[in-house]
C-alpha cells in the first residue's frame, strides 16, 4: 500500500491545495500507465468529493435523520438482489481507500510528514523492455535507464547523502554537491560520487556489478548485511571495474569506454564480445529469450548496430560467423498472455 499511499496523497493534494509542476508530472505519468489507474483516479476523486460533504454532516441530528431514512426505505420498492449485493461489495472494497483519504484530509500533519519521509515519499521508475527512459531527479541529476532497468529514490533528497537503488543499468550525470555525496546502491556494493558521469550495470541474475567512469571520481564501497560500509577502491576517468559480489573479486580495465555507454544513445556496440553476451543484451533490448548452443559459445563479435531491427541484427550476425538461428512460436499461457519469443543460435550445417 506504500506506493498507493503516495499516489493517494498526490490526488488529495490536487483536490485540496493543488500540485506543483513535478507532482503533477508524477500523477500524470501514473495515470498514463493503464486504464485501471485512470478508473481508480476517478473513484478516488468521487470519494474526496463525498468527504467534503461529511463536514456539513457534523451538524446533522443523526438519530432523527436515520429514522427518516428508514421510513422512506419502507416505502421504496425492493431493488434487484444482484445489483444491491454488487453495491455492497463495491462499498466494502472502497472502504479502505475512503478511510485513508479521510485520515489524510483531517490530518494535515500526515501530508507534511510524507514530504519529509523518503520511506513514504519514494518513487520507482521502470524502463520497460524495448524502451529507454530518462529521469530527472530533484537535485538536477539526470539518469538514463536501459531496457528493463529500474531505480527507486526519494522525491526530495534529505539528510547528508543523496541515495537511490538501481536494478539493471543506468548512466548517471550527477549534479555537483560536495556536501551531499550521491550514492547508487546495488547488490552489496555502493557507488559513491559527488559530481560526475558514470555508468553502472547490475541486472538481476547477473553475478557482477560493472562500473564505468567517464568524468570525475567515484568510490566503491562494500556493504555487509548490517549496512556497514568500507571502501574497496576508486576509479579514474576511462576506467571500467567489474565486481563479483559473491567472490569479492575486483578487476579493472582502461581504454575505450564507448562500448559500455553507447546504449544510452541507441547504439549496440560489441567489442570482441562473446556470443552469449550478445544474446543476453539482445534479449533485454527486444524482450526475447535467446539460447546459445554449447558448440559456438567461443565465437566473438566486434560490431556496432544503430537502429537495426532484431531480424536485421540476427541476419548480420549469421553472415559474420558460421551460425544460424531459429525462431520458435510464442506459447499461449493459461492467463491468456503469450510467452517470450524463443530464439536459438546454433552452428551452421554445411
| Residue-range domain boundaries for the chain | 2-115, 122-255, 266-347
- CA angle centred on 123, ends 120 and 126, rounded to 5°: 145
Separation between Cα atoms, residue 211 and residue 198, nearest integer Å: 7
At 255-281, the pLDDT tens digits run 889 989 999 998 999 989 999 999 999
| Fold agreement between 122-255 and 266-347 | no
Higher pLDDT, 229 or 279: 279
The overall pTM is greater than 0.75: no
At 296-342, the pLDDT tens digits run 999 999 999 987 888 899 999 998 889 999 998 888 888 878 788 89
**Ranges of H-type helices in the chain:** 2-15, 21-33, 35-56, 62-75, 81-105, 108-115, 258-261, 275-286, 310-320
Domain 266-347: give its CATH architecture.
3-Layer(bab) Sandwich (3.55)
Average per-residue pLDDT for the chain: 79
Mean predicted confidence (pLDDT) in 118-122: 61
Q: Which residues contact 203 (CB under 8 A, 6 or more apart)?
A: 148, 149, 167, 168, 169, 284
Q: How confident is the model at residue 144 (pLDDT cuts 50, 70, 90)?
A: very high
3-state SS string over 155-218?
A: CCCCCCCEEEEEEEEEEEECCCCCCCCEEEECCCEEEEECCCEEEEEECCCCCCEEEEEEECCE
CB-count exposure of residue 74 (10 Å: 0-12, 13-18, 19+) = exposed
Query: What is 122-255's CATH number?
Result: 2.60.120.1440
What's residue 87's pLDDT?
A: 46
Amino acid at each position: 500500500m506504500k506506493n498507493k499511499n503516495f499516489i493517494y496523497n498526490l490526488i488529495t493534494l490536487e483536490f485540496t491545495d493543488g500540485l506543483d509542476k513535478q507532482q503533477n508530472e508524477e500523477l500524470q505519468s501514473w495515470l498514463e500507465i493503464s486504464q485501471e489507474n485512470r478508473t481508480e483516479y476517478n473513484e478516488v476523486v468521487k470519494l474526496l468529493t463525498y468527504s467534503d460533504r461529511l463536514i456539513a454532516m457534523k451538524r446533522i441530528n443523526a438519530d432523527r435523520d436515520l429514522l427518516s431514512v428508514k421510513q422512506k426505505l419502507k416505502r421504496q420498492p425492493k431493488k434487484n438482489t444482484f445489483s444491491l449485493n454488487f453495491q455492497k461489495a463495491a462499498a466494502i472494497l472502497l472502504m479502505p481507500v475512503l478511510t485513508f483519504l479521510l485520515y489524510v484530509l483531517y490530518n494535515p500533519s500526515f501530508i507534511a510528514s510524507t514530504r519529509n519521509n523518503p520511506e513514504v515519499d519514494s518513487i520507482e521508475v521502470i524502463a520497460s523492455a524495448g524502451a529507454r527512459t530518462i529521469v530527472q531527479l530533484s537535485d538536477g541529476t539526470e539518469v538514463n535507464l536501459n531496457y528493463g532497468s529500474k531505480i527507486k529514490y526519494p522525491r526530495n533528497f534529505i539528510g547528508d547523502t543523496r541515495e537511490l537503488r538501481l536494478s539493471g543499468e543506468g548512466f548517471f550525470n550527477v549534479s555537483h554537491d560536495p556536501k551531499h555525496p550521491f550514492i547508487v546502491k546495488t547488490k552489496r556494493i555502493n557507488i559513491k560520487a559527488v559530481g560526475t558521469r558514470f555508468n553502472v550495470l547490475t541486472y538481476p541474475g547477473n553475478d557482477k556489478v560493472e562500473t564505468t567512469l567517464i568524468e570525475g571520481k567515484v568510490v566503491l564501497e562494500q556493504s555487509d548485511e548490517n549496512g556497514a560500509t568500507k571502501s574497496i577502491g576508486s576509479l579514474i576517468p576511462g576506467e571500467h571495474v567489474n565486481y563479483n559480489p559473491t567472490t569479492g573479486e575486483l578487476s579493472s580495465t582502461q581504454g575505450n569506454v564507448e562500448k559500455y555507454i553507447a546504449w544510452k544513445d541507441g547504439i549496440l556496440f560489441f567489442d570482441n564480445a562473446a556470443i552469449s553476451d550478445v544474446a543476453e543484451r539482445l534479449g533485454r533490448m527486444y524482450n526475447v529469450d535467446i539460447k546459445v548452443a554449447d558448440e559456438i559459445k567461443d565465437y566473438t563479435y566486434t560490431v556496432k548496430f544503430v537502429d537495426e531491427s532484431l531480424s536485421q541484427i540476427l541476419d548480420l550476425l549469421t553472415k559474420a560467423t558460421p551460425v544460424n538461428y531459429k525462431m520458435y512460436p510464442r506459447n499461449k499461457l493459461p492467463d491468456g498472455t503469450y510467452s517470450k519469443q524463443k530464439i536459438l543460435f546454433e552452428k551452421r550445417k554445411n
